[in-house]
Structure 1
Amino acid sequence: MYTAAELQEILLTENQLWRRWQLASAKKLQADRVRGVGCPYIKIGRLVRYRLSDVVAYEAKHRFPQEV
């Protein structure tokens, strides 16, 4: 398990995230970014990265049924 500080440091690529979520392709992530929805991301030049802590928080927020 990672500490909170370690989660802040880990960045996932678009390909790593779509594989984690088992999406058909990365195009869903690209479309979400264009629409301004979806998981928060970091843009570094042309590179897109997803902070693991943001991904985990996004997954928890979209978990059904919601845990209390």
Structure 2
Amino acid sequence: MKDMQNDPVEEVPDLLADWISREQLARALDLTTDTLSRWEARRQGPPCTRIGRKIFYRRAAIQEWIRAQEQAHPVRKTRGRP
């Protein structure tokens, strides 16, 4: 019989430590996952990675993307005639 206490426990690396899911990003930005999907289709949002059916965003890439959205004097979009 094998003694379980003498076996070293394998440490599983957290491969997704620097990544967040689409759902997590949507909650953090107060958006819907549909908005993030639309941005992905239009290549407007932060870069993402697809693993199977799941979408993940690298935290550093999100921060870079947010910095790139920064404007000194934000311009409000208007509809209709000026």
Question: TM-score when scaled to structure 2?
Answer: 0.62
**Pick from 16, 29, 41: which aligns with 1:21?**
29
Find runs of 4+ consecutive structure 1 residues off by over 3 angstroms: none
Matched, 1:54 2:61: yes
| Structure 1 gap segments, 5+ residues each | 1-8
Structure index of larger Rg = 2
**What root-mean-square deviation, in Å, do the aligned CA atoms of Structure 1 and Structure 2 show?**
1.6
> Which one of 61, 65, 68 corresponds to residue 72 of structure 2?
65
- Structure ranking higher in helix proportion: 1
Gaps of 5+ in 2: 1-16, 74-82
Overall identity of the aligned pairs, in %: 23
Bigger RCO (CA 8 Å, 6+ sep)? 1
Partner of 2:19: 11
Aligned residues: 57
